[in-house]
Amino acid sequence: MKTALLIIDVQKAILDGAGSPDRQPVLDQALDVVATRLGALRDRARAAGVPVVVVQHDDKFDHRLAKGSPGWELRDEIAPREGDIVVHKTACDAFFETDLSHQLNARGIDHLVIGGCMTQYCVDTTARRAVSLGYDVTLLGDGHMTGDRGALTHEQIIAHHNLLLDGFDAGARAITVKKAAEIRF
């Protein structure tokens, strides 16, 4: 199995307004922890010669992730370095109308370690799509983040998706949930 690390939408304004005024600091702190964890994993992947793919969401001018705006920029912890693959997307699915499949196939990748933002949107959609396209996926159970949504806290959404996605399969390919410390490149 040939692996790549796929980091999705860890952008400066990804969680802006994603919580109530009293919860926003909690979200911001949790994102700092996840971004730091992903940055450390990125460094481990590079040291092992594992390709790193950074996905960046490009949205319209009135969105918090409007292409070219300060909030659109990638966070420093995961900012691409020379040799990293950068994929720009406009939908939740990082494969939809992007060259992600081409980039992975050109390198013989058949296993993705996935982390990033937002859990119930881009992380979930991309992980499921990857499996149906023929990739095995390891979802970083402590390496994805989201905001609060309605009555659900980000912690509840993350726990729900870790439980829901662990074992999701399509044919012979499946998602396995592991903590970042368990990843061996």
- pLDDT, one tens digit per residue, over 9-41 is 999 989 988 888 999 999 999 999 999 999 999
Kindly calculate the radius of gyration of the chain based on its CA atoms and give it in whole angstroms.
15
Burial class (CB in 10 A: 0-12, 13-18, 19+), 154: buried
What is the predicted pLDDT for the residue at 184? 95
The CATH architecture assigned to 3-182 reads 3-Layer(aba) Sandwich (3.40)
Question: With 90 as the cut, is the pLDDT of residue 64 above it?
Answer: no
- pLDDT, one tens digit per residue, over 121-165 is 999 999 999 999 999 999 999 999 999 999 999 999 999 999 999
Q: What are phi and psi of 94, to 5 degrees?
A: -65, -10
Question: With 90 as the cut, is the pLDDT of residue 76 above it?
Answer: yes
Q: How confident is the model at residue 1 (pLDDT cuts 50, 70, 90)?
A: confident
At which residue do the structure tokens 């990804």 appear? Answer: 14
What is the predicted pLDDT for the residue at 60? 86
The predicted model scores a pTM of: 0.96
Q: Are 71 and 65 in contact (CB under 8 A)?
A: yes
